[in-house]
Structure 1
Amino acid sequence: MKPFFLAAIVIIICLPSCNREPVLLPEDILSREKMIEILVAVHLVESSGDSRGFSMREANKLIAVRYESVMKNHGTTFNQFKASFDYYMQHPDQFDEIYQEVINQLTALEGKFRAKRPETIKPKVDSLTDSIPYTKPLRKAVPQ
């Protein structure tokens, strides 16, 4: 009875995974792995970018140049990335999996960065604790 019960449980657990067919992407859509790589790079570029001091037009140009650089480094175009992004937005289950992996990779990169970075930020010194104690009056006695 026990072996039958165990076999039934194993079959019940494995049965739903048999229905999972591989996802066939349209030809012009980037693969899941490529999207993860590009999204990690895009988030790093956006987080490192400082557009303060620029007009809105200049900031948009700067972002466009950075995006083009990311796309070129990953062998794709912005239009193909945008089409792929839109495709995955229409498939939320795949999009969630992609973004979960993006978050995992960014978290791992942050951990590596924090581990390598020496603690350079020193706490502020309180100027009152390092001051000379008050012992004499600051002004002389005024004759009356």
Structure 2
Amino acid sequence: MKKIISLVILITTLLSCNKQRLPDGILDEDKMVDLLIDIHLAEGLVTSFPIHYDSSRILYPLFEKEIFRKHQVPDSVFRRSFEYYMRDAKVMDRLYARTIDSLHVIEKSGNQ
């Protein structure tokens, strides 16, 4: 009987340690961070151009489109994933902490 109880506890523990499976069409956290890094780099680049705000509002979507092409992710999948992660503030904080850390590393190394 003790062996059966031990086995049940072991199996329960192993199953509970598995990462929560993401719904279909939702990007994993690593891919989201990669996209957020590039999106924020593009936003910074566009705002650094000596152009009027109206012109930057036209220019930014072109950069954004290129980012999604580069990462081979449709914008609808990114937006759906962003909305999914926004439901949990702790997860979103973790994603943005990773994004900010990566942007700091890029800034210090001078690479973009």
Match of 2:86 in 1: 89
1:95 and 1:22 mapped to 2: Cα distance? Answer: 17
Of the candidates 89, 96, 100, which is equivalent to residue 99 of structure 1?
96
Letter in 2 for 1:105: S
RMSD: 2.0
Residue 22 to residue 65, structure 1, CA distance change in 2 (3 Å): same
Q: Shift in Å at residue 53 of structure 1?
A: 3.1
TM-score (ref. length: structure 1): 0.60
Match of 1:36 in 2: 33
Match of 1:12 in 2: none
Secondary structure at 1:26's aligned position in 2?
coil
Match of 1:68 in 2: 65
1:52 and 1:20 mapped to 2: Cα distance? Answer: 51
Secondary structure at 1:67's aligned position in 2?
helix
Letter in 1 for 2:80: A
Residue 63 to residue 22, structure 1, CA distance change in 2 (3 Å): same
Gapped regions of structure 2 (runs ≥ 5): 1-14
Letter in 2 for 1:40: I
Residue 74 to residue 53, structure 1, CA distance change in 2 (3 Å): same
Structure with more of its chain in helix, by fraction: 2
Secondary structure at 1:72's aligned position in 2?
helix
Q: Shift in Å at residue 20 of structure 1?
A: 5.5
Q: Shift in Å at residue 45 of structure 1?
A: 0.7
1:53 and 1:109 mapped to 2: Cα distance? Answer: 25
Q: Shift in Å at residue 91 of structure 1?
A: 1.5
Residue 55 to residue 97, structure 1, CA distance change in 2 (3 Å): closer
Match of 1:23 in 2: 20
Q: Shift in Å at residue 97 of structure 1?
A: 1.0
Count of matched residue positions in the alignment of Structure 1 and Structure 2? 96
Letter in 2 for 1:31: D
1:61 and 1:80 mapped to 2: Cα distance? Answer: 22
1:98 and 1:53 mapped to 2: Cα distance? Answer: 31
